[in-house]
């Protein structure tokens, strides 16, 4: 399948928002909207300690490493185009790479939504709003030669395994020598054809098939 892909387009879901805590603290910042995050997170140092609430909730990264989180904030509103969306956040002491992550709880509230190259569009309280991405999408060409080279190595190894099986003495005991010779004579041209054409570094086996373009929300 990957051999049919000509290029990929990915978009980091970074948007500009304003968050308000208890109507007394405002923070205008860039956040990452992450559909893989099970909860909303904020870097602890961004929020005044007077808003901290104790929590027993545990967090971990995608690779299983535990994050240091002892506090939460529950009275938070995300403001965009005059609409306020109430959310709660876990305060994380470790470096998140970006100050605020809006995860699945946020996406559940704005569903159904539509994602384009410009941003995330939804409709709340009969009003259409858009969370605009602050950077353009990026398109990259897929390195087909590298992909085909890996596939070539795999195919050649598979052919060699089959050849080894055919030359096995136990196999030869069940067939006369003349028949084994005929089988090998049929296999060798096929083997050479696969290696020289199908497994070539400049393979044209799929040259005239349709190529596809796909968009990804991440790099």
Omega before 112 cis (within 30°)? yes
pTM of this prediction exceeds 0.85: no
Residue with tokens 């609430």: 53
* Nearest-angstrom CA–CA distance, 96 and 98: 5
Give me the numbers of helices (H) and strands (E) for the chain, helices first please: 4, 15
Residue 204 has pLDDT above 50, yes or no: no
Tens digit of pLDDT for each residue in 135-184?
A: 877 776 665 555 555 566 666 666 666 666 656 555 555 667 777 677 77
Tens digit of pLDDT for each residue in 77-109?
A: 999 888 999 999 999 988 888 889 999 999 999
pLDDT at 20: 93
Provide CB contacts within 8 A for 53, sequence distance 6+: 71, 72, 73, 74
* Nearest-angstrom CA–CA distance, 9 and 215: 4
Domain 8-138, CATH homologous superfamily name and number: Acid Proteases (2.40.70.10)
Domain boundaries, the chain: 8-138, 142-200
Tens digit of pLDDT for each residue in 50-85?
A: 999 999 988 887 777 888 899 999 989 999 888 999
Q: What is the DSSP letter of 57?
A: -
């Amino acid at each position: 399948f990957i051999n049919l892909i000509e290029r990929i387009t990915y978009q980091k879901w970074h948007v500009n928002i304003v968050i308000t805590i208890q109507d007394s603290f405002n923070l205008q910042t860039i956040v990452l909207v992450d559909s893989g995050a099970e909860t909303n997170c904020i870097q602890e140092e961004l929020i005044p300690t007077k808003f901290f609430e104790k929590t027993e909730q545990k967090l971990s990264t995608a690779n299983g490493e535990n994050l240091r989180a002892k506090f939460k904030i529950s009275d938070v509103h995300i403001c965009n185009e005059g609409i306020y969306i109430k959310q709660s956040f876990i305060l994380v002491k470790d470096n998140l790479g970006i100050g605020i992550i809006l995860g699945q709880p946020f996406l559940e509230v704005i569903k159904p939504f539509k994602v384009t190259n410009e941003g995330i569009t939804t409709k709340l309280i009969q009003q259409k709003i858009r969370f605009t991405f602050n950077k353009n999408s990026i398109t990259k060409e897929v390195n087909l030669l590298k992909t085909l080279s890996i596939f070539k190595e795999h195919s050649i190894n598979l052919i060699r395994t089959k050849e080894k099986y055919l030359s096995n003495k136990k196999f030869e005991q069940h067939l006369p020598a003349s028949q084994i010779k005929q089988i090998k004579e049929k296999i060798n041209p096929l083997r050479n054809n696969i290696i020289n054409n199908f497994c070539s570094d400049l393979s044209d086996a799929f040259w005239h098939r349709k190529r596809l373009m796909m968009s990804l929300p991440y790099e």
